[in-house]
Amino acid sequence: MTPLHLFRRVAVAEAITWALLLFGMTLKYSGVTEIGVRVFGMVHGVVFISYCLVTVLVGVDQRWSRGRVLLGLACSVPPFMTVWFDRFAEKRGALGDTWRLVTSGPVSALDRPVAWLLRNPARGAVAGLVAVAALTVLALLMGPPASS
């Protein structure tokens, strides 16, 4: 899977889960049921974490500036902005068809773990799943966002 395809899939999934969460919130605040927020909130949280991790992974591999990585991460907060950022990055040539660190050696300290993840796809996928699970558990331990 190319950086473009991986990033696009996760960006679209994040936007879809935003839509589902907004639907669940509509049901909750119209007095129908709270189950939509519970289910879709959890799904969105997991995909949100995945999007953030993929943004950093792709950003390091594709040599994005810190500003571009931060913009990609910030676009995970407003609904549907991950799709906009995906198109923005593609138009500027920031999402390549190949993984740089699969074919060339790591240069920076951040390149080393990303290169290992990309050169060992099965282990990298397991490491990604473990990271998403650990961050999800940490978020659950911290509790739901404060509501006003």
What are the boundaries of each domain within the chain? 3-142
pLDDT band at residue 148, thresholds of 50, 70 and 90?
very low
Residues 117 and 102: their CA atoms lie apart, in Å, by 9
Nearest Cα to 44, choosing from 15, 70, 67?
Answer: 15
Query: pLDDT tens digits for 30-53?
Result: 999 999 999 999 999 999 999 999
pLDDT band at 13 (very low <50, low <70, confident <90, very high): very high
Task: For residues 139 and 3, give the distance between their C-alpha atoms in angstroms, rounded to a whole number.
Answer: 27
Q: What pLDDT, on the 0 to 100 scale, is given for residue 32?
A: 93
Task: Report the distance separating Cα 9 and Cα 13, nearest Å.
Answer: 6
- What mean pLDDT is reported for the chain? 94
Residue 144 pLDDT grade (very low, low, confident, very high; cuts 50, 70, 90): confident
